[in-house]
Amino acid sequence: MSADEEKPSLPVSFEQLAELEDDFEQVDLELTRVQDKLTKDLYVKREKIIADIPHFWNSVFEVAPEEFEHAFKETDGELLLALKNLFVTRFDLPEGDPRSFSIKWEFEENAFFEDKVLEKKFIYRQSPKGDVSGLVSEPVKIHWKPGKDLTNGLTDLVLKVHAEEKAGKVDEETDAKKELKKKIEDTPLGDLSFFTWFAFRGPRITEEEHKESLKKEEEKRQLRKAGKPVEDDEMEEDEEDEDDLFDKAYEYEPYPAADDQALCIAEDIWPDAIKLYLQSQEDDILSEFEDLDDEDEEMEEDDKAEPASKKRKA
Amino acid sequence: MSADEEKPSLPVSFEQLAELEDDFEQVDLELTRVQDKLTKDLYVKREKIIADIPHFWNSVFEVAPEEFEHAFKETDGELLLALKNLFVTRFDLPEGDPRSFSIKWEFEENAFFEDKVLEKKFIYRQSPKGDVSGLVSEPVKIHWKPGKDLTNGLTDLVLKVHAEEKAGKVDEETDAKKELKKKIEDTPLGDLSFFTWFAFRGPRITEEEHKESLKKEEEKRQLRKAGKPVEDDEMEEDEEDEDDLFDKAYEYEPYPAADDQALCIAEDIWPDAIKLYLQSQEDDILSEFEDLDDEDEEMEEDDKAEPASKKRKA
């Protein structure tokens, strides 16, 4: 949303639309809560079934939505073959926020790292003025085997910077920050391992700021319900805050697409995993057919795919 | 889904996956029911607010998802300016099927047709063997003003064929059918008016066949719940049925994309209308800015968009 003076022609008040959007958002949250409750047992049932399918999640990621296009490099693919299981949990439910979730990756023994489980939590936060919201995450330590760090030190550097900021060095430009910034600039996108995803941090919004924001939001809601006028925060200041939060986040973020990909896993890949798996198997069969096609006569293949009697449409 | 022999490598039974998919489908239906209940009042509230916004739905369709790319021809756009209101109703709820819905278009007095309201119902049906499902619809009569039929007679021809089929001439190739088929073949996609959408009929599945299908499905569900083996219908026959149903549907279907577009309206455009409208307004402002940009010096425009002090990123 942009500042008020940029939409002079809107014939209804911004406040009316904001209230309506808020109402719909509340329904969406409630629906996610209901969905979580209704599907919980089904995901347990699914887990048991897919445990018998080798490389299930690897196959699913092969046909994942466009968010994952070019995401996996060749060595990433090798490592993904060791992916044994994947879980998405809306850990804050039933009481808390349905927008927060965790993605747990279980790996078999592999040549790249020591970890058996890598779990990354994405926590929904909004800024005090409610104009910035997003998924915040702690960088996850990966215990790479010697010489096997696919992220070329990026994940470790983010962890170092994160620890420094936690120790209070938020605005200080430390050596680690300089090094991280340089490494990000020097890494071509084509060389960026998907596993850098685990280092994502997101916008710098603290839990306190988030709680303050929720409180303000609820106060506005009550005012609106009571039919009282709701003060808009000064818009220009908001925009500066917003820039600040994103600048801070992205300057030291080697993998800024991580939150979109996390949402894609939670909202599309996780619920649709069986469909995607079946699709990957069909794709495999199709490409086998295509291979045959290259070897055999073209007419022969054509007959195999569709009996002559059924060719009613030209 | 393809026949059994085409996926020899699946390490779990097709039946297990089908059961799981059925479970998830049931949850999805339940969620649509809950959503309908929770949003009903909100849509009434929204209607009152957007009544004050001229060309609201027209603006929304300008930024509609890709299903509507190239859907509206120039004259369609003229007619769409007379679109006063749009409603989506899941008319079969709360008791019936959440997958059926109607789209009601309200028009102002216009130069093209006499109708004030055009309502199209999309009814969910599945074939007796459960292998074909889709949205079935009756073609809607549009009372075009003389010489103003944007569909060039296509909608009326579909209505004629539909009436003939209702009168028993299902497999007979009547003159009207021949004419319709020829007209479809002779109409370039670039000339096809969006209003042909109202003529869509979908796969030929009767209510009786649908009910039989639901009954069979429920029987299978009960067998599975009781841990008893479930017979799969003979797959090869199914595939022929499937071809048949689609052939019949598409041979006399001038606008086969109509069901996808209807789903897009019901699932995306209708719930996201406010967001889409705001986006269309922002797009308008952006293109105004771009126009300015062409006129003014580039640097000047640059300064307007972002104060110099905030340019921290190169």
Q: Identity (one letter) of the amino acid at B100?
A: S
- pLDDT above 50 for B86: yes
Do the domain assignments include residue A5? no
Do the domain assignments include residue B272? no
Distance CA B286, CA B67 (A): 24
Q: What is the pLDDT of residue B298?
A: 43
What is the strand order of the sheet A101-107 is part of? A83-89, A101-107, A117-126, A133-136
Cβ A42–B23 below 8 Å, yes or no? yes
Distance CA A199, CA A46 (A): 29
**Which chain B residues touch A if contact means CB-CB below 8 Å?**
1-2, 6-7, 9-12, 16-17, 20-21, 23-24, 27, 30-31, 34-35, 38-39, 42, 45-46, 49-50, 52-54, 240, 243, 247, 251, 271, 274-275, 278, 281-282, 285, 310, 312-313
Q: Which residue do the tokens 């005090």 mark? A: A128
pLDDT > 90 fraction of chain B, expressed in percent and rounded: 64
Do the domain assignments include residue A54? yes
Asked whether A60 and A277 are in contact (CB, 8 A), the reply is: yes
Å from B238 to nearest chain A CA? 13
**Which chain A residues touch B if contact means CB-CB below 8 Å?**
1-2, 6-7, 9-12, 16-17, 20-21, 23-24, 27, 30-31, 34-35, 38-39, 42, 45-46, 49-50, 52-54, 240, 243, 247, 251, 271, 274-275, 278, 281-282, 285, 310, 312-313
Q: What is the pLDDT of residue A10?
A: 63
Q: What is the pLDDT of residue A13?
A: 75
Cβ B282–A7 below 8 Å, yes or no? yes
Q: How many domains does chain A have?
A: 1
Q: What is the pLDDT of residue B295?
A: 53
Of B11, B53, B247, the CB nearest to A312: B247
Å from B144 to nearest chain A CA? 33
Q: Identity (one letter) of the amino acid at A177?
A: K
Domain of A172? 11-273
Q: What is the pLDDT of residue A3?
A: 41
Do the domain assignments include residue B285? no
CATH of the domain at B236: 3.30.1120.90
Query: pLDDT (tens digit, 9 = 90+) per residue, B205-214?
Result: 999 999 999 9
Do the domain assignments include residue B253? yes
Do the domain assignments include residue B295? no
Closest residue on chain B to A273 (Cα): B21
Instruction: pLDDT tens for chain A, 314 residues: list them.
Output: 444 444 445 667 777 888 898 899 999 999 999 999 999 999 999 999 998 899 999 999 999 999 999 999 999 999 999 999 999 999 999 989 999 999 999 999 999 999 999 999 999 999 887 678 999 999 999 999 999 999 999 999 999 999 999 999 888 899 999 999 999 999 998 899 999 999 999 998 999 999 999 999 899 888 888 878 777 654 445 555 556 666 666 789 999 999 999 999 999 999 999 999 989 988 777 776 666 655 554 444 333 333 333 222 22
Do the domain assignments include residue B308? no
- pLDDT above 60 for B2: no
Q: Which residue do the tokens 């894609």 mark? A: A264
Return mean pLDDT, chain B.
85
ipTM of the prediction = 0.77
- Higher per-residue pLDDT: A56 or B251: A56
Cβ B17–A310 below 8 Å, yes or no? no
- Tell me the pairing of strands B133-136 and A83-89: unpaired
Asked whether A47 and A252 are in contact (CB, 8 A), the reply is: no
Mutate to test the interface with B, among A31, A56, A244, A277 (most CBs of B within 10 A): A31
Cβ A2–B50 below 8 Å, yes or no? no
Do the domain assignments include residue B313? no
Cis upstream peptide for B271 (omega within 30°) = no
Q: Any bridge partners for residue B117, and if so which? A: B106
Band of residue B236 on the pLDDT scale cut at 50, 70, 90: very low
